[in-house]
Structure 1
Amino acid sequence: MASFLQVENLTKSFGDLTLFEGLKFSVEENQRVALVARNGAGKSTLLNIISGKDSAEAGAIVFRNGITVGYLDQDPEYNSDLTVYQAAFASSSEMVEVVRNYELAVRGKGDYDLGELIEKMDHMKAWDYEVRVKQILTRFKVDFLDKKMGELSGGQRKRVALANVLINEPDFLILDEPTNHLDLEMVEWLEGYLSSSSITLLMVTHDRYFLDRVCTDIIEIDAKTCFQYKGNYTYFLEKRQQRTEAHAASVEKAVNLLRREQDWMNRQPQARGTKAKYRIDAFYDLKDKANSGRREDSVDISSASSRLGGKIISMEGVSKKFGSQIILNDLDYIFSRGEKVGIVGDNGAGKTTFLQIATGEMQADSGKIEVGETVVFGYYRQDGLQFDETKKVIDIARDIAEVVKVGKDKTLTVSQFLTLFLFPPDSQQSFVSKLSGGEKRRLYLLTILMKSPNFLVLDEPTNDLDILTLNVLEDYLRDFAGCLLVVSHDRYFMDKVVDHIFIFEGNGVIKDFVGSYSELRDFKMEQEKQEKKERRDTKTTVDVKKPKVDRPRKLTFKEKMELEALEKELDDLSMEKATLETELSSGTLSSTLLVDKSTRVGDILSIVEEKEMRWLELNEIDGD
């Protein structure tokens, strides 16, 4: 296979912090590669360097000549005055430009010659491509094409940017957290789109099901270098375990040897002077190797929460709407101790609004909500990153508490708690402004848990967290004795932590499914299969029950007249269609007439199809 990308001896530092050193790897044609690393290890920085948005101190990035590259930034930036249409169709591709102009002409926007554009679409065989473009925009629910980019939320901007890179169909696609801000249906569609295409892909994502089903290779950045694995996420976990175990065994051997060598080095200087210099040098090399056996940072911590009484949250007849949009409609629900609820639904269905009403941050329009006196909320918000950037990590934590309760009779200092949550002592002295987006998310999560809540409310907690942190959070939540409400598009995460799921179907309809997200998905797929089978069975039953004709019959007088009329109508429609097509290609029509006549051509095609079916039906009778 041809190499699309060569990363050669790449080194990147920020002050005293070295992210990676001498990094080397390649991406071959048709490979779909994921970058995996803890937050702060430089994943997004590496993608920015590869895409040309950032630079390295040393090394080279080499792309294959002649290929096109598309890049989805983790936080895309746009000119706020651009319309969504302009941003979604931004491209140097002639094909994209023709489709964009055709769509604008059909919508009556701009001064375009529709007839000329139809000819170009025919010549470039662009009709199938236009269908794919519409499918992409529809799947990501980009139906606000005339809005300004400055009016959009961060999630909407991300969806527009993702639509744009897919519309351009580059040879090599670079994606930084593509599933963030997508609902579950969008994620599953994107999963299928990428796994079935022949595109070459390099991406960062924390979605482990997405990794498993899309990627052919995984590159792990660890200890400032990288390790490449040929296989999906499941294969990576197996091989990474083997690698870390082999490394641990090697370090243990080095530690044992170091003890003997240390004894030798501790002898009198004059005795050491008679020894070979190579052995002294080898001692220091051995010491480095023994010290390289850093433990796999993880959190082994019992979840601590305040005592939760018998009464938790009771909702009776709760309703909420914004204008004509119904969010909650006469909702009744009583939360039980230890209940873990996942929430899924389309963007805009009211998931975050429900969380705000449950916690008292927003008032319902009607109904009654009672919260137990012992309930202590811990609310992780999507927009909760509001730290003082000039403070150090340790100071952010100390503003909440000096000690943290982590079990029934156990407490930790703030520094110890930070260390357990993957902030070792040296990074605790870092200023918040120096943290990566994922590290800030982890710090925010830590500040919520430090308060020992007994009712956790998590709104998209998995965005921007690395896989190691997600494993930590999942273990914590499985042992959590309080109640949990969580909104997440991370299917793997939901499968591991929730007992049942609220499905927000829109218009105030909320259904409760007992089971994991995967079980819900299987249930829906089985339902769809059953519905298709029932439609087929119904059609078969109707066909079977058609009255049988024992003997051939002739057309009635009325049917003969209908057949003659149909033949004339079909001739007239054919002539009208030919005339319209000539006019559309003439270049003399105004934009309004172009749209009207183009619409009429579409109507004629539908009418002709219907009348031809009736004509065939009558001819079959006449033939008998």
Structure 2
Amino acid sequence: MATSYLQIEQLTKSHGDRMLFSDVTFGINEGDKIGLIAKNGTGKTTLLSILAGRESADSGTVTFKKDLRVGYLEQTPVFNPELTALEVCLNGNNTQGQAIAEYESALANTPGTDLVEAMAKMDAASAWDFDEKIKQVLGKLGIDNINQKTGQMSGGQIKRVAMARVILDEPELIILDEPTNHLDIGAIEWLEDYLKSSRVTLLMVTHDRYFLDRVTNKIIEIDNRKIYTYQGDYSYYLEKRQQRIESMTAEKAKIQNTLRRELQWMRRQPQARGGKAKFRIDAYHSLESRHNQINLQDKQLELGVKSAYIGSKIFEARNVCKSYGEKKLLDNFSYTFARYERVGIIGHNGVGKSTFIKMLQGIIKPDSGSWDIGETVKFGYYSQEGINLDSRKKVIDAVTDFAEEIVINNGVHYSPMQFLQHFLFSPADQQKYIDKLSGGEKARLHLALVLMRSPNFLILDEPTNDLDIVTLGILEDYLESFKGCLIVVSHDRFFLDSIVDHLFVFEGDGIVRDFPGNYTEYRAQKTSDTKVNIPIKKETATSGNKPQRVRNENKMTFKERKEFQELTDEIDQLTRECNQMDIIFQSGEAIADIDKLALRYQQIKDLLDEKEMRWLELSEKS
């Protein structure tokens, strides 16, 4: 029988009059690797914080196995700004760091310390090369300067230092809140391999679906304040959750039919209903209660906004160069962007991905070279820094400041209140102050403010960091039908596989490579150094979630999109030439070189037939 590490009994927590979760009960056993799934704003981070002892519950109990070593990675770690990355890791809850501290104290002749005893503890803890181990783990997570103070680091760098510290502490149970945020793909894959192969027990919240699928062996879902447990990975969870929803839908339909008949009976009883009929009245109310408990509304984010018209000219980059000191980010980058192109940008942190998209929009100027942007291009920019809003304002007031009326979808008018409801902000939620919103709710608000302007060129810089899995699935559906251009910087491999046609791979030292495929194809080729045919997996839509999928053969590739655009232009040109010849032939005037003109006319007709046939073939693809 597996050893129980943690038992949670009837845990309840609310913020003000808002109930986050109620009577939550589940256990964690040795060897469990659990993914916790719930919508934004339902208390995932709060639950982890309670388990880590940082917050208290309103009621219920949390019981750990005696002397259990627990590590906790919070969503936004905070350290003494004067400590270096090395010192943060040394000051963790690890025996090596403690042994090193005692040894250094003994070397300094601190009273009450014994050098021989300290050296013995160093031997017992294998601490002599611990600083080298720290350096290795930090390096794998993208921190190369171990002596940099945390006060000089970005939030993402601090998160990576905190992750390293948790790993180095070697706890028996690790609690992780969004561990993949701010990690580049290489670091994510290293962490994925570490957690998968390690014997550590794990409870984590993450939106990274590949990470969930490859690391977890159990999924716990909080839905409508209830707990559902699935013994399997993320793909298994999707399948079983769909079965649960179908079963609940069937049950609700059956109850509705019974209630309809019972309601008719109730309405036929004009007087007090006592005696033999009382059991039926009680049964009716019991049935009504069961019906109300099966909550299948499952509100979803509605992204019915459309893009503005975009012309054939998008942008052209000509010999763009950008450096910061000796660090070269772009070196003579040239590229002509086509209509409806979808590009993913990947690369290690610090190689210039965010700088690239800011240069494209004119936020940052290149050192040399130029960007030529089409006149019809209307950028929509979702930045990883978030949007600068007054945190003291209410949600509805912040949106009204941007626009008192929102016009989208070919002239459909919305008030700010109506528009926000499409993004799951109920009238009550709209009265919240911005500083009281969860990270996911702020991300949804940011997305609403970007899309309300109906952009035709979306630039998304790490859009997956704070959105829940359901919202991500709906965003992917929206982007698949988005009639515009897209550039996305993301470390979310599933997200990249779902929406991009090709990749800009930032390799460092100013080198940008164009890879004609999605991330899974890129990873396969990088591993084998040969082109790999990736098998197709059939999709199953499950409440906005999608299983892993790669290239859809019924979807245009990047090259086919370019060919389709070229065919459109060629057909337009040939049609114009053909129409001009028709005018000449119908004029009744004498025509010089009529044989030559007639031959050209027939050639154009043949070309049009050929190109229109190919255009139709490609247009069948989504």
The TM-score range, normalised by the shorter chain, is: 0.7 to 0.9
Who is 1:465 aligned against?
Answer: 467
Who is 1:14 aligned against?
Answer: 15
Alignment of 1:169-180 (within 5 A): 169-180=170-181
Q: Please tell me whether the aligned partners of residues 11 and 21 of structure 1 are also in contact (alpha carbons under 8 angstroms).
A: yes
The one of 346, 357, 360 equivalent to 1:358 is 360
* Secondary structure of the structure 1 residue equivalent to 2:49: helix
Partner amino acid, structure 1, of 2:157: Q
Who is 1:85 aligned against?
Answer: 86
Partner amino acid, structure 2, of 1:34: G
- How far residue 256 of structure 1 moved from its aligned partner, in angstroms, is 1.5
Cα distance change on mapping 1:254 and 1:390 into 2, 3 Å: farther
User: Higher relative contact order by CA 8 Å / sep ≥ 6: 1 or 2?
Assistant: 1
Who is 1:527 aligned against?
Answer: 529
Structure 1: how far apart are the matches of 2:124 and 2:189? Answer: 34
* Secondary structure of the structure 1 residue equivalent to 2:180: coil
Q: Please tell me whether the aligned partners of residues 140 and 159 of structure 1 are also in contact (alpha carbons under 8 angstroms).
A: yes
Cα distance change on mapping 1:528 and 1:478 into 2, 3 Å: closer
Q: Please tell me whether the aligned partners of residues 302 and 423 of structure 2 are also in contact (alpha carbons under 8 angstroms).
A: no
Who is 1:487 aligned against?
Answer: 489
TM-score (norm 1): 0.79
Structure 2: how far apart are the matches of 1:4 and 1:164? Answer: 21
Cα distance change on mapping 1:402 and 1:276 into 2, 3 Å: farther
- How far residue 358 of structure 1 moved from its aligned partner, in angstroms, is 0.3
Q: Does 2:212 correspond to 1:211?
A: yes
Who is 2:457 aligned against?
Answer: 455
* Secondary structure of the structure 2 residue equivalent to 1:270: coil
Structure 1: how far apart are the matches of 2:255 and 2:93? Answer: 57
Partner amino acid, structure 2, of 1:176: D
- How far residue 368 of structure 1 moved from its aligned partner, in angstroms, is 1.4
Cα distance change on mapping 1:295 and 1:71 into 2, 3 Å: same
- How far residue 250 of structure 1 moved from its aligned partner, in angstroms, is 1.3
Who is 2:298 aligned against?
Answer: 296
* Secondary structure of the structure 2 residue equivalent to 1:163: helix
Structure number with bigger Rg: 1
Structure 1 stretch 263-272 or stretch 326-335: which is displaced more?
263-272
The one of 371, 375, 378 equivalent to 1:376 is 378
Cα distance change on mapping 1:492 and 1:346 into 2, 3 Å: same
For structure 1, the residue ranges without an aligned partner over 5 or more in a row are 531-624
- How far residue 121 of structure 1 moved from its aligned partner, in angstroms, is 4.3
Instruction: Provide, for residues 86-134 of structure 1, a one-character-per-residue CA deviation record: whole Å limited to 9, x for no partner.
Output: 212223433233357889999x9x9x99999776544444568666433
* Secondary structure of the structure 2 residue equivalent to 1:81: coil
Structure 2: how far apart are the matches of 1:496 and 1:105? Answer: 57
Partner amino acid, structure 1, of 2:162: A
* Secondary structure of the structure 1 residue equivalent to 2:402: coil
Q: Please tell me whether the aligned partners of residues 86 and 131 of structure 2 are also in contact (alpha carbons under 8 angstroms).
A: no
Alignment of 1:29-428 (within 5 A): 29-98=30-99, 121-126=122-127, 132-267=133-268, 269-273=270-274, 276-291=277-292, 292-299=294-301, 301-402=303-404, 404-405=406-407, 407-408=409-410, 412-428=414-430
Instruction: Provide, for residues 171-201 of structure 1, a one-character-per-residue CA deviation record: whole Å limited to 9, x for no partner.
Output: 1100000000100000000000000000000
Structure 2: how far apart are the matches of 1:311 and 1:295? Answer: 43
Cα distance change on mapping 1:306 and 1:103 into 2, 3 Å: farther
Structure 2: how far apart are the matches of 1:517 and 1:489? Answer: 10
* Secondary structure of the structure 1 residue equivalent to 2:273: helix
Cα distance change on mapping 1:429 and 1:448 into 2, 3 Å: same
Structure 2: how far apart are the matches of 1:420 and 1:242? Answer: 27
Who is 2:606 aligned against?
Answer: none
- How far residue 472 of structure 1 moved from its aligned partner, in angstroms, is 1.1
Structure 1 stretch 423-432 or stretch 205-214: which is displaced more?
423-432
- How far residue 374 of structure 1 moved from its aligned partner, in angstroms, is 1.1
Partner amino acid, structure 2, of 1:214: V
Structure 1: how far apart are the matches of 2:118 and 2:512? Answer: 46
Cα distance change on mapping 1:437 and 1:302 into 2, 3 Å: closer
Partner amino acid, structure 1, of 2:150: M
Q: Please tell me whether the aligned partners of residues 23 and 225 of structure 1 are also in contact (alpha carbons under 8 angstroms).
A: yes
- How far residue 389 of structure 1 moved from its aligned partner, in angstroms, is 2.8
Q: Please tell me whether the aligned partners of residues 302 and 479 of structure 1 are also in contact (alpha carbons under 8 angstroms).
A: no
Partner amino acid, structure 2, of 1:40: G
Structure 1 stretch 210-219 or stretch 268-277: which is displaced more?
268-277
Q: Please tell me whether the aligned partners of residues 141 and 187 of structure 2 are also in contact (alpha carbons under 8 angstroms).
A: yes
Who is 1:429 aligned against?
Answer: 431
- How far residue 434 of structure 1 moved from its aligned partner, in angstroms, is 2.8
- How far residue 413 of structure 1 moved from its aligned partner, in angstroms, is 4.8
Q: Please tell me whether the aligned partners of residues 138 and 146 of structure 2 are also in contact (alpha carbons under 8 angstroms).
A: no
Structure 1: how far apart are the matches of 2:106 and 2:509? Answer: 34
Structure 1: how far apart are the matches of 2:207 and 2:68? Answer: 28
For structure 2, the residue ranges without an aligned partner over 5 or more in a row are 533-622
Partner amino acid, structure 2, of 1:238: E
- How far residue 317 of structure 1 moved from its aligned partner, in angstroms, is 1.1
Instruction: Provide, for residues 29-85 of structure 1, a one-character-per-residue CA deviation record: whole Å limited to 9, x for no partner.
Output: 011111000000110000000001001111000000011101000000112222222
Q: Please tell me whether the aligned partners of residues 297 and 420 of structure 1 are also in contact (alpha carbons under 8 angstroms).
A: no
Alignment of 1:599-618 (within 5 A): none
Structure 1 stretch 291-300 or stretch 373-382: which is displaced more?
291-300
- How far residue 328 of structure 1 moved from its aligned partner, in angstroms, is 0.9
Q: How many residues align?
A: 528
Partner amino acid, structure 2, of 1:54: E
Structure 1 stretch 120-129 or stretch 155-164: which is displaced more?
120-129
TM-score (norm 2): 0.79
Structure 2: how far apart are the matches of 1:523 and 1:509? Answer: 19
Cα distance change on mapping 1:29 and 1:527 into 2, 3 Å: same
Instruction: Provide, for residues 511-533 of structure 1, a one-character-per-residue CA deviation record: whole Å limited to 9, x for no partner.
Output: 00010001000010002999xxx
Q: Percent identity?
A: 49
Partner amino acid, structure 1, of 2:328: I
* Secondary structure of the structure 2 residue equivalent to 1:391: coil
Structure 1: how far apart are the matches of 2:343 and 2:421? Answer: 29
